[in-house]
Amino acid sequence: MQFSTRTSLLALACTTFALGAMPAGAAEGYVVGEAASAIAADPAVAELVPQAIRDAGVLRISVYGNTPYTMTNESSQLFGAVIDLGSAIAATMGLDAVIEDNSSVAASRVAIESGRYELGMGPFLDSAATEEQFNIINWIKVTPGFVFRAGETYSDPLDFCGKSLAIVSGSVPVERNMEALKAGCAAAGKAEPIVNAYGDQNATIVAVLSGRNDTTVMGSASALYVASTQSDRLAAFSAETDIFQVGVFSGMGMSKQNPELATAVLAAMEKLAADGAYEAIFDAYGLADLLVEDFAINPIRGGL
């Protein structure tokens, strides 16, 4: 296969993953990986599904493009971590999954509020305000991720004090993390990192591979996935440290008008975790470090 020189490394990683690990199952518009391809219905979970959804036999799921959560292969089919997880949730409930891309976080939120979909996989950043709008079940940790050249040994953000870092210009979360890192370096009596901004994530990865920068910083899910697809050239770690005030999670959202569905989805997630399918899905995308240990509905607000 030939790629133009304009093909991004991130897009190439997506295509490589899709071709190198051919999906084990397919439905209209999307494909699921091996870890999510043989999930059996659980009668106890299925019993919790609201009657209207049970009668329809379908769980309508909204997603949005965001590597490695929702990506598109060469056949224009969706694949990724949320495709696998959403499909597995539906299967555990004894339902077929209809999964559609709504292009952005905002559009996916509207799609759930309008009732066009029962479940928005997100990930939506959890907060008290988010839980006022939706019933939220968190399924992934949110931490900064550091990508660097394979063969180099870094394990702590403070290892990059005095080093050269690449970030995407205008990324507010990453810029905040850089300010936090600079403060952490100062507190540790170490030199401040040098930060260079680039136009997009692909440019930051190129800067690291070329040696212009020692690392690039992005969301940990993207960092771990990119490194897992190019392990001969890149490595990464998730920075779970007090420097960044980590303790934030992201999850899936459901309408406040359907609390029974949230109860059923929670039971499905607990079943998938107990059976090892949740971990297997994360492992397939290099995200094992970001597993959530305990599931709950609206953990900030304390339940429904």
144 cis-preceded (ω within 30 degrees of 0): no
Beta strands in 110-247, from DSSP E residues, in sequence order = 119-125, 134-142, 144-149, 164-168, 194-198, 215-219, 234-238
Tell me the CA distances in angstroms from 66 to 72, 105, 174, 221, 222, one per residue in order.
Answer: 10, 9, 16, 10, 9
11, two tokens: 């897009």
Is the pLDDT assigned to residue 119 strictly greater than 90?
yes
The answer to whether residues 14 and 3 touch, using CB atoms and an 8 Å cutoff, is: no
The answer to whether residues 216 and 207 touch, using CB atoms and an 8 Å cutoff, is: yes
Is the pLDDT assigned to residue 174 strictly greater than 90?
no
94: left (phi over 0), alpha (psi -120 to 50) or beta: left
Average pLDDT estimate for 136-157: 93
Report the alpha-carbon distance of residue 284 to residue 3 in Å, rounded: 25
pLDDT tens sequence across 229-277 = 999 999 999 887 667 765 578 899 999 999 999 999 999 999 999 999 9
Q: Which residues pair with 146 in a beta bridge?
A: 217, 237
Report the alpha-carbon distance of residue 123 to residue 136 in Å, rounded: 10
pLDDT tens sequence across 220-230 = 898 999 999 99
The pTM score is 0.80
Q: Hey, what domains does the chain have and what are their CATH numbers? A: 9-143+248-290 (3.40.190.10), 144-244 (3.40.190.10)
Q: Which pLDDT band holds residue 103 (cuts at 50, 70, 90)?
A: confident
pLDDT tens sequence across 292-301 = 999 999 999 9
Residue 22: CB atoms within 10 Å: 10
pLDDT tens sequence across 39-67 = 999 999 999 999 999 999 999 999 988 88
